[in-house]
Structures are given as C-alpha cells and as structure tokens.
Structure 1
Amino acid sequence: MPPILRRVDSQSSDDTLVGRQNHALERQLGDTEASYFLPSRESGVNDMYLHLGFRTNVSTMARARVALVWAILRLRHPLLAAKVDMLDYNDIRFVYNPPESVEDALENAASTLEYRSQSKDELIDAYLNGPRTLSNERLSYLIVGSRESSEDFDLLICATHFLGDGMALHQCANDFFGLLSEQASLETILEDEWENWWGSKTKMPSQLPEPLETRLPPLPRSKFHQAVRRVDFETAQSKLIGGQSFPRRSGHARKTVVPTTSFDGDKTKAMLKKCKAHGVSISAALFSLCNYAWARTVDDRSQPTMMYSALNLRPTLTASAALNDTYWFLAIGYFNVVLPTFFPEEAEKTFWHRARMAKSQSTRAAKTPMLVSRSMEMARERGERARVWAREDDEKALGIWKPSPPHNQQPEPKKAKAPCVCLIGLSLLGNLDGIYKHDRFPHIKLHTLTTGSRQRAGGMLLFGYTFCGKLWLSLGYDENGFETSSVQRFWNNLNNAADTFLV
C-alpha cells in the first residue's frame, strides 16, 4: 500500500515553523515488517541491539555532543523517531511527526539517550533479560556506558527489528562515530539537516521510506503468474528436510546469554587464507563448523541437519523515491542449508566438502531467478501467520479464544511428511571492517562488537563476523529453554572445530 500523508491546515503563516500536529507522515507496515512487529508487542521479541566497545577522550563523549549526533541521525532516518499505531491486525502504521524546530529535534533525541555506569555485560543483560527498553512509542534508543574519569566506553544502539536489519544497525553505528569525530560544528550540521527537510513547507517530503515489498522489482500480476509463483514457493519449501534439534526444557523464565569467542589477528588471517584455499568464505565454513560440532554432540545422526540464515535482499531492490536514501529499512529474506549429520573419523576432507555444499546452497538461494517471487511469497506467508497468531494470543489474553470447530466430514489421509526442523540459525555478517571506516574517526579506537536481539523462549542464534581484524563467534540463546549440557558440548565442540579445521 502506498504511504499515506495526513496534513491538517494551520492558521499560522510562518512557513519556517511546522507544528507536529499539522504535518504527520504515515504508511502501513509491509508484510515483513508486520511479521516482526506483531510478536514484539508483549515483551519485545526481536528487539535488536548493537554493542560497541571503544576508547576515546572523555570530551568526545560529552552528553551534549552525543545528543547532537543522535538528533542528526534521527532527522536523516525518520523511522528511528517514528511511532507505531495499530488500528487492526491488517492496519498497522508508522506515524512520524516531524520536529517543529531544531530545539525540538534535539529535545526528542535527548529523551531517547541514556548514560549508565554499567559494564558491557550488565548493559547487554539488562537489555536482553530486563524490562523492555523499546515500545510502540519509542522505536529506537541509545545507551552509553561509562565509568567516571575513564576513556573506555560502551555504546548500545537499540532498535526494533521491524525498523531495519543488521546492516542498518552497522551503517548507523559507522555514521555515529563519523559524526562524533566531525571537526565542523555539530550544531550547524543539525540546523542544516532540519532546514533541508522541515524548514520550509515547499520542500517537505511527502512520504516515509517504503517497505521491502514495494522496493522489490515488480512482478506480473495475472492469476496465472501468481499461481506459478505459489507452486514454485511450495515446491522449494517441501525440499527442506531436517531432523536435528537441541533437547528443550520448559517451565522456566527466559534468560538469554551470549558466550563469545574471538580469535586474534594472526589466527584470523590464517583462517581466512585456509578458507580461500578451499574455495569457500568463512560464512560457508561456519555452516560446516556447526554441522561438525553437532555431529560430535548428538548420538543419533540418521536425520540430516538443517540450519537457516538471513538473505540480504538489498542488492535486489529497485531505486527508491524521496526520503528513501535512508538505510533504515528491513530488507531480508531467508534460506536454509541442509547437510548430512554423519561425519567419518577422518573428517578433514568431509569438513571442507560440507563447506562447499553450504556455499553451493547459499549461492543457489541468492542467485535463483525466482528470488523476488519467493521473497514476496515468504513475506506474505509470514505476515499472514503473524496476524493469525497475534489474534489468537490477544483472544487468549482476554479469555475469549475458542479453537476452530472440528470438520464433520472425514478428512482424507495425509501423506507422511519428512521432518522439517532447524537446528540453529546463523547470522553471517561477513567482514564488518568493510562497513566501519576506522580512518574516519582516528581518535576513537573500536575494539569490541556484540550484537543480537531479545529472544522468545527457546531462541538460539549464532553470529559470525570479522571485526577489527579478528574473527568473532557469538552464541545468543535462552539458557533456560534448552538442556544445558548439550548446548555447552555444542559450543565447546564448535570452538575446538574452529581451531582444528580453520587454522
């Protein structure tokens, strides 16, 4: 659905002052955004965070200076400062009230900025396991961790997942540090930014950044083409077979932990060199690492192992209109990698063969000519499913939910389906040093990066990336949702496998 512009006429003749009540931008959430928004309502499932540890002068991180940078970013990327208004399960809207002045923009930014005297681990634990930081009224938040008289800082950029994806978070962090190192006046930059978008009614944009579904290349709309796309999607989904999963437990409050391993620069260079020699990227090797680690964790290896990962759809998108130069939008699909669980005793050759299998499956998912249609079908299906589950959850909370009545007629016997269970999700962020332009902020020395999201009970996601020349592996999971010993064995096996095969 196209973005909606609502404008209320004002009696004021001052074109340089735009009252927030007089000019509001709205648009409905797309299916992908809705599939992330609806589960987030109760406890913030999928609310993202990006943590960066760094050293810099105390004056650089003065609260007034950081607030100016945050205000500039929120003007450039309006969804960060928007709200969500849910009228119905099929009518959920972003609503953005532009700041009426530079001072108003700065005040709004300062209200979503907080300084805390906490360590990195305390900041992350509070965000993941404490009361929800974000809400429908506050879609982004900035937290700075600092100690008195110390030049060591921690930054937490927090945003709902329906605002954007991991790439948006990292681009935003890079811009944050770039602005923080600006020699020019940040006050002047903020004034220019506000004037550029909202200083005159004749220049104001008429829409918010568009959702994924309208950014993808258009598809034929005939019923025949729609049917072909649906059959192709269902056929592709039916080929996904996986029968491996971590033993679960229930009845305990969710508690997400994030054990993290990093490998030094020399070891990381050796790992990347070895992957290249075997014709794969570190991302493909991580699928094989998980495959091997699980084979060493479980006794029954008869069923294959299936893992899922996000697919970056940004290279597929078409050029966009006004205000769409922002990177804060959601542009991900999903793909699966299926590998045999059995490993022979002499595992070296098998390990690299499985890595090449993972590379081949990943490439097919990204390069298929049906990528756009499958992404659209997946978005539609996820959106529909999220709406059904949200309605059911709301009715259960109100005590009015009733299960669907049974069919009177005898159902036809169904064919036995192959198991379709994912062992784990992998978030493969690649070389983040390609995003962070360290030379743009020479007085800020980044040294640590951790990322993830608030999870549902029983959630698990492995992150793999290179940052500051080091390979990082990070496992975010609900330690109360799984049988403890199997997860710990898997994590130990994964780290040992990295040292065994990649070095």
Structure 2
Amino acid sequence: MLGFLRGLLFIAFQSIGSFQGLTGSMRLPNPITHLERKLGDTEASYFLPSRENGVNDMYLHLGFRAPLYIMDPQCVALVWSILRIRHPLLASQVEMHSYDDIRFVYTPPRSPEEALKLAESNIDYRTQPKDELLDSYLNGQRTLSSSRLSYLIVSNPEKAGVTMNGDSSTLLGSSNTDVSREYDLMICATHFLGDGMALHAFANEFFSLLSSSDSKGLQDLLTFEWQERCFKRTPASFLPTAMEDRLPECSTTLQRVASRVEFRNSQDRLIGGQTFPKGARKARETVAPTVSFDEERTKKILKACKNHGVSISSALFAICNIAWAKTSKVKWDLPTMMYSALNMRPYLSPSRQLSDSYWFLSIGYFNVILPTFIPKDDDDLTRTFWHRARSAKEQSTNAVKHPMLIPRTREMARERGARARVWAKEDDDKALGIWKPAPATTQNKPSPRAPSSALIGLSLLGNLDGTYKHSRYPEIELHTLTTGSRQRPGGMLLFGYTFRSKFWVSLGYDKNGFEEGVVERFWNQVLLSIEELLV
C-alpha cells in the first residue's frame, strides 16, 4: 500500500519538476508580502491575557511508536512546512495597535525552500520523556509568543544518551530504519489561533501525510501546495475569517436589541455557589494527572451510559457533582455550576468561509447546574447520579438546540472581548505604575443577585477515534494522548475523551492555587465515583 501511494504521488507531481529546480526559479509574479485581518472578540479575549505569560497556550501530546525512516527529520520538517502553508494562521504573527485593533499578519513564503526553512526554525528535537516535556511547556519559560503562534516538539526518549552536536539526524537517525522506536510529539498553539477540534484534526492530518510518502514525494507535494496556495490564490482567500464574521446576523435592529435583552436574562438565571477554596499566593505550578480505563472497563462504562440514556459527557458532569459533594460539606444549599465549550462550526455561514483551513477559533459556552446535596444511602446515591446525568444531558441539549444560540454566542463573544480589553488595560496600567482604582460610588448600584460562581470547566472531546483515522498510518501506533493548556494562577479544567478504545480523564490545574489537599481529594473522588457508578 505504501509503495502504491508513493507511486501515485510521483505520477501526480512529476510534471511539476524537482524541488530544488523550482525553488530557484519560481516566484510570485506580484509578490504578496503582507496579509492581515483583525482578531474577533473571542480571539481577542484569549490573546490579551496570554501576552505576559502564555495563559491558555494549548498543547496536544501524543505518544506513539513508529519506524525510524518515517520519523526522519527531513520528512517531519517537510510535513510541517506543508501544513503551515495549508493553514496560514499557524505561520502568522500578531500585531497589537490598540486594545480594539489587534491583527493577524501573514507573510506567504516566497518559495518552497523558504517555507521549509521557516518550518525548520519552528521545530525542536529533544530526548525528554513525556512528563518533562509537559512540565517544561506548562511551567517553564513560554514557548510561544506574538511572533510564534505555533511550534512542534519531537522527542525520542530512547536516544537520551546520544549527544546531538546540533544535528537532529544524530537524534532520530539510525542505520536500521525499519526498527520502531518510542516517540513523543507535542503540537503547541496559542488558543486564539484555534480550538481543540483544530488540534486533533491537525494531528490526524500530520500523521496521514507523514506516512504517505518519502522525502522526495513530500518535497514535490510542498512545491505543489506552494504553487496552489501562495502562487495562484487570491489574497482574499488566504486567512480564515473570525467566528463572529461567519455567524448569521440579526436582520433588524429590533432583533439585535431583543437578543441582547434575552442574553442578559439568561445570564441572570445562572446560579452557582460552589468554588474550590483558594490557597496562599505562590508561584503557579500546573500539573495534569491523567488516567485511562482499559478497553473492557470502557465498554462497561459505555454500556451503562447507553442503558441510562446518556453520554459519557453528560455522566462526567454528574461525576464531578457527586465528587465535589463528597469532598466539601459546606454550602450544600447552593447548587453546583459547571461550564463547557460548545463547537460552533456547524452554525457558521458556509458562504463566508473563504479559507478551507480548519485552524480558527469557533467556540461558544454553556453551563450545567445541578443540586449539591447527595443522599447517604448507596442505592439512593446511584439513582441520584443517573438522574443528574440525565439532567446534564437535558441542559446540554437545550443549550445546543436553543433558538437563541447564535445571538447568545455573539453577545457572549462581545462581552468577553470587552471584559478582556478592560482587564488588559488595567494590567498594563499597573505595570506602568499609573493605575488608579475607580472611585467608589453609591449611585446606580446594581441590585443584589444570586451567586453565579462556576466550580470547574469541562472540556468534553468525545470519541477521538472518530477523528484519528488510524488505518491511514498503520505503521504508526498511537497509544497515549494528553491535552491541555498553560493555566492562569488558580486555573482548572477537566478533560474527558475516548481514545484507542479507552476512556480517559485528565485534570489540569494549578497545584499551588488552591487550599492544600482539596483538589487532590476531589480528583480522588472523581476516580472513585467513576469506578463505583460507571464501571
């Protein structure tokens, strides 16, 4: 099969000419040296807090085994360069002119050779094991920046004793190229660049390309992609537009006003009084404990959820609810509110999707509110758990199918963008020593309302085996997946997903941001509750 694919690539690209020949002769007749667009409100709400220390910078870690010849550094760099051309935001920079004028700036490579050189400057080959890679990214000096929105890290821990001497081939090369080795891949990207869907789709595309051809075939493909996307394409179709520009508009002024009123009323109905107690102010230290359940136990979990008419995602809301109630004995009179992201891609207007790249940010938000108190009797607790799982499903479904979903998403984006700009200016003024608190006033004070604090955020990725087409890269054996982001002090996010027929849960949180032991007790209760209520 691999030989057949290589043959197809050779036939498809033999008319293009050699990679080296084209790089010296082919140039844009009217070179496009500068393309840009403004960040949307949602993108700005993630960009502004990221400036100082990379808050929300995403990562996707994949552990796998592969033959040495597939992981040849030249092939890895070629695939990376091809994908940076297909998805231009990956190779863009950000310029901030004001809080209201922040722009993606993209300079298309002038040749395939330049595209490869730029890609190589954004790859790092290492010998660190997974835990060291994650700790370095989450807690060390920031990897990304406004001039580097994406980065690739390839590690081969089995070569830890080899001295590289600046040559990546020393790290990944070998005389026996058919031997499989253990590798770790980390795809790093700023959150304002894209979302979880983009990360996983990208990883699948990366491995598919890496397995499809040798160095010569990938060189030809890079030349072809550069021709099609940087040589022939019009400037208007380069950069994917912001989510807010793709959402259907309200047709009248009255509808816009009504949507804002409805959004505010929906926000006022959010009630949540459960939060993790904060700890003493210490340097942030993000950890991400991750647990997987074997295939047999995963089947039992799926079967139990199906029998009770819910998904694993809905069950996880109830699991967190029960685990928190067992962890904390205070404020049981107030409900528990949790939040999650909503994929908005199915709701975008197709006519406005100028770019075919999936690398852009397209998320909304919804909340699930559940009672905090729990019965002491085990049988009653089981019935309560499934009842709350069904309630979580109903609330999630109502959020997705609500007739005001699109106006709510637009208003939420506008509110988050405005709030981020205010906070960003405040942070900048404090750094300059010119910030002054607003004068206290007793006039026009808002009427008191119920508390609306969220306990935790859940990132529910679903069945990732539907995204990763493992049959396209049979010589690459993916076995481990961990994802998350650099946290703000006191940040926390729980991930749930199915991968390689296993159910995985991962909790990314600031170890020093909470009262000692409370998060660890909660995490232990999450795992115990899964074992007791789902397996």
Aligned to 1:305: 336
Aligned pair 1:230/2:273, yes or no? no
RMSD over aligned Cα atoms: 1.7
Q: C-alpha separation between the residues in 1 aligned to 2:403 and 2:444?
A: 35
The answer (yes or no) to whether the contact 2:67–2:181 under 8 Å persists in 1 is: yes
5+ residue gaps in structure 2?
A: 1-23, 160-173, 175-179
Give secondary structure in 1 for the equivalent of 2:51. helix
Aligned to 1:49: 59
Aligned to 2:139: 129
Q: C-alpha separation between the residues in 1 aligned to 2:440 and 2:28?
A: 57
Aligned to 2:40: 30
**Aligned-residue offset at 1:411:** 1.8
Give secondary structure in 2 for the equivalent of 1:61. coil
Aligned pair 1:462/2:494, yes or no? yes
Shift in alpha-carbon separation, 1:398–1:413, aligned structure 2, 3 A:
closer
Length-normalised TM-score, structure 2? 0.88
The answer (yes or no) to whether the contact 1:197–1:205 under 8 Å persists in 2 is: no
**Aligned-residue offset at 1:405:** 3.1
The answer (yes or no) to whether the contact 1:31–1:379 under 8 Å persists in 2 is: yes
1:444 aligned partner, one-letter code: I
Give secondary structure in 1 for the equivalent of 2:369. strand
**Aligned-residue offset at 1:402:** 1.6
The answer (yes or no) to whether the contact 2:481–2:499 under 8 Å persists in 1 is: yes
Aligned to 1:113: 123
The answer (yes or no) to whether the contact 2:154–2:184 under 8 Å persists in 1 is: yes
Q: Deviations over 1:334-371 (max 9, x none)?
A: 10000000111220111000000000000011100100
Aligned pair 1:275/2:292, yes or no? no
Aligned pair 1:487/2:487, yes or no? no
Aligned to 1:373: 407
Q: C-alpha separation between the residues in 1 aligned to 2:186 and 2:392?
A: 33
Q: C-alpha separation between the residues in 2 aligned to 1:340 and 1:288?
A: 10
Aligned to 2:98: 88
1:380 aligned partner, one-letter code: R
- Once the two structures are superposed, the pairs formed by residues 352-431 of structure 1 within 5 Å of their partners are 352-407=386-441, 410-412=442-444, 414-431=446-463
The answer (yes or no) to whether the contact 2:246–2:353 under 8 Å persists in 1 is: no
Q: C-alpha separation between the residues in 2 aligned to 1:426 and 1:456?
A: 16
**Aligned-residue offset at 1:144:** 0.5
Aligned to 1:6: none
**Aligned-residue offset at 1:62:** 1.2
Aligned pair 1:476/2:486, yes or no? no
**Aligned-residue offset at 1:488:** 1.1
1:218 aligned partner, one-letter code: E
Query: Of residues 138, 155, 178 in structure 1, which corresponds to 2:148?
Result: 138
Q: C-alpha separation between the residues in 1 aligned to 2:475 and 2:516?
A: 43
The answer (yes or no) to whether the contact 1:20–1:100 under 8 Å persists in 2 is: no
The answer (yes or no) to whether the contact 1:56–1:445 under 8 Å persists in 2 is: yes
What percent of counterpart residues are identical? 60
Q: C-alpha separation between the residues in 2 aligned to 1:35 and 1:365?
A: 22
Aligned to 2:479: 447
Q: Deviations over 1:239-277 (max 9, x none)?
A: 110101111113200000011110000100110011000
5+ residue gaps in structure 1?
A: 1-13
Q: C-alpha separation between the residues in 2 aligned to 1:130 and 1:155?
A: 18
**Aligned-residue offset at 1:330:** 0.5
Query: Of residues 150, 154, 172 in structure 1, which corresponds to 2:184?
Result: 154
Shift in alpha-carbon separation, 1:91–1:232, aligned structure 2, 3 A:
same
**Aligned-residue offset at 1:183:** 3.0
The answer (yes or no) to whether the contact 2:75–2:218 under 8 Å persists in 1 is: yes
Query: Of residues 57, 79, 86 in structure 1, which corresponds to 2:89?
Result: 79
Q: Deviations over 1:126-154 (max 9, x none)?
A: 00000000000000000001132770000
Shift in alpha-carbon separation, 1:20–1:438, aligned structure 2, 3 A:
farther
Aligned to 2:231: 199
**Aligned-residue offset at 1:215:** 1.1
Bigger mean CA deviation after superposition, 311-320 or 42-51: 311-320
Aligned to 2:239: 208
Q: C-alpha separation between the residues in 1 aligned to 2:196 and 2:266?
A: 26
- Once the two structures are superposed, the pairs formed by residues 316-335 of structure 1 within 5 Å of their partners are 316-321=347-352, 323-335=354-366
Aligned to 1:40: 50
**Aligned-residue offset at 1:416:** 2.4
Give secondary structure in 2 for the equivalent of 1:156. strand
Give secondary structure in 2 for the equivalent of 1:43. coil
**Aligned-residue offset at 1:59:** 1.6
Bigger mean CA deviation after superposition, 367-376 or 148-157: 148-157
Give secondary structure in 2 for the equivalent of 1:447. strand
The answer (yes or no) to whether the contact 1:244–1:422 under 8 Å persists in 2 is: yes
Q: C-alpha separation between the residues in 2 aligned to 1:437 and 1:231?
A: 44
Q: C-alpha separation between the residues in 2 aligned to 1:94 and 1:238?
A: 35
**Aligned-residue offset at 1:16:** 4.1
Q: C-alpha separation between the residues in 2 aligned to 1:19 and 1:112?
A: 28
Aligned to 1:438: 470
Q: C-alpha separation between the residues in 2 aligned to 1:22 and 1:64?
A: 27
How many residue pairs match? The answer is 486
The answer (yes or no) to whether the contact 1:16–1:199 under 8 Å persists in 2 is: no
Aligned to 1:66: 76
Q: C-alpha separation between the residues in 1 aligned to 2:185 and 2:239?
A: 27
Q: C-alpha separation between the residues in 2 aligned to 1:323 and 1:189?
A: 23
Length-normalised TM-score, structure 1? 0.94
